[in-house]
Amino acid sequence: MSDLERLAREIYGFGITDVFGIPGSGQTLELLDCLEQYPVKFHLTHFEGAAAIMAGVAGRLSGRPGVAVSIKGPGLANMIPGLALCYLERFPLVAIAEAYHAQAPPSQAHKRMNHAALVEAVTKGRRYLAERGPGFTEMAEWAAAEIPGPVLLELAGGKTERECGVPPATCPAGADLVKYISQAKRPLVIAGTLALRYGWPDQLNRLSIPVFSTVAAKGVVNEHLPHAAGVYTGAGLELTPEKNVLPMADLIVGIGLHPNEVLAARPFHCPAVNIYPVDDPGCAAAFNFAATAPPREAAAVFDALARQSWGLEAVQASRHKLEEKLLGGPFLPARAFRIIEDAFQGAVRLVLDTGNFCTVGEHVWRSSRGDRFLCSGQGRYMGVSLPMGLAASLYDRQIPTVVVTGDGGIGPFLAEMKIAVQNRLPLILILMTDGYFASIRGRALQDRLTEKPLTIAAPSWLSVMEGFRLRAERVKTAEALHRVLAEWNINEGPMYIEIPFPATPYQWMLRGIR
């Protein structure tokens, strides 16, 4: 059995069902040929960066690292944006690229680039596929191990020696968080993506104290429950629960809280403790944690938290105040989000791009589960919502996936929309357009800088979408949005909706929020 046959068998054996990428005429094509013996679907993307994003999202949703393939040099270079997103967002994936082996003579220069330097900042590390490993399983376990992220497996023709295995992670020493919790009167929880990876939603849903999540972990506590306080960003203003409810607490309990998952990390007004799986002095310093315990102590922490009760009225009052402001006014993104939520009675997945609409969405949308909300919570990486939504929709076609993007995010990966059409995915792409980069324009207006580079000349993509042969609608009112959503059914495949909003109220809709 050849190295590549073994690799294919291992990929299938590991439970991988979908592989994304663009092959070349070398080993990647041979690998895909070997994979055809197995029920593993290959999705040809138009850009390797999209493939890495899609593989990473498959990893985020399934807990099992995704797989993306590319050729060497330019193929891997094209994969970098996707690896960067997955590195920022901690999505696990194994990128597989063709490569020159380490001892290849300088005469072999075709498409040759320094892969080590290329991927250094956006992967946990790289290894060659060699006769005696590390094989796919070891690489995938490395990608999934805390902190998750991308790893690179290079196909260099089996000429390399066995390389060392994967480095073990270091774990913090134990600490008695229960002592802090039992001494507190008003402990409050902020849960990060760690709580998703460790499967702690039930423990969070059961509490009767205020529970926030980071944006990246939105839905880890069911946001329809009365103690779910919404998102903690570190940057919320007077209308947000993080500004109103958080100051009432006398202890903050982070469940995998990390500076990487908030916009502004700073010490809290009261003592704070955290559960985190790896030693990270920077994390402890950023929030001034008095103690950090590893995940094995979580059960005792949740038991201690379950004995406490306070703050539900405060959470409700604060959420009410926020919703009154956002939903009470004219037809702007907040009302559109609520119409979408209602149209599917919550059985829908939202994937948000970045922009002012996203800030509104992360506060007003209520997600019942962590796998029903996705966004680039850490990187705020513009444009990635489309490949993220495609991967989510391929992963789970049972419920609609709604991708919401702005004028900036719609363009970068637009060609990938073809994948939605080919697969008849239950995906609705919504463009919320105000004709500007509103989130950047705020700075221009404030400091009288130029608005020209932030003004979109022809913001409609309607005819482009019609060119993909999908249903494309332009709606200007709440009623029209309601109607278009009600007319769509999950079996008809993808749809595009464009919602133009008046620029001025759109610009100021974040007042009091961020």
Ligand X SMILES: Cc1ncc(C[n+]2csc(CCOP(=O)(O)OP(=O)(O)O)c2C)c(N)n1
Which stretch in 31-39, 49-57, 291-299, 350-358 sits in contact with ligand X by CB under 6 A?
350-358
Nearer to ligand X, 214 or 439 (CB): 439
Which stretch in 62-70, 91-99, 142-150, 432-440 sits in contact with ligand X by CB under 6 A?
432-440
Which stretch in 141-149, 228-236, 305-313, 351-359 sits in contact with ligand X by CB under 6 A?
351-359
Binding of ligand X by 382 (CB under 6 A): yes
Amino acid at 176: D
The binding track of 391-430 with respect to ligand X, each residue x by CB under 6 A or -, is: ---------------xxxx---------------------
Binding of ligand X by 438 (CB under 6 A): yes
Copy the structure tokens of residue 106: 């300088």
Tokens 């709440």, residue?
Answer: 478
SS3 content of the chain, % helix, strand, coil (to 5): 40, 15, 40
CB 256 within 8 A of CB 262: no
Q: Is the four-CA dihedral 63, 67, 72, 75 of positive or negative sign?
A: negative
CB 360 within 8 A of CB 406: no
Instruction: Give the chain's radius of gyration (CA, Å).
Output: 23
Nearer to ligand X, 200 or 506 (CB): 506
Which stretch in 20-28, 98-106, 134-142, 354-362 sits in contact with ligand X by CB under 6 A?
354-362
Phi first, then psi: give them for residue 235, nearest 5 degrees.
-130, 15
User: Min. distance of Cβ 349 from ligand X in angstroms?
Assistant: 20
CB atoms within 10 A of CB 133: 16
> In 3-state terms, what secondary structure has residue 394?
helix
Q: Cβ-count burial of 10 within 10 angstroms (0-12 exposed, 13-18 middle, 19+ buried)?
A: middle
Copy the structure tokens of residue 438: 């509103």
* Residues in region 439-458 near ligand X by CB under 6 A: 439-440
User: Min. distance of Cβ 91 from ligand X in angstroms?
Assistant: 16
Which stretch in 209-217, 261-269, 291-299, 433-441 sits in contact with ligand X by CB under 6 A?
433-441
Looking at 149, 150, 256, 355, which residue binds ligand X (CB under 6 A)? 355
Nearer to ligand X, 23 or 408 (CB): 408
Alpha-carbon distance of 132 to 445, in angstroms, equals 60
Nearer to ligand X, 280 or 434 (CB): 434
Count of chain residues binding ligand X (CB under 6 A): 18
> In 3-state terms, what secondary structure has residue 403?
strand
Binding of ligand X by 377 (CB under 6 A): no
Binding of ligand X by 437 (CB under 6 A): yes
Query: Using the 8-state DSSP alphabet, how is residue 416 labeled?
Result: G
User: Min. distance of Cβ 158 from ligand X in angstroms?
Assistant: 37
Name the residues that contact ligand X, by CB under 6 A.
354-357, 380-383, 406-409, 434, 436-440
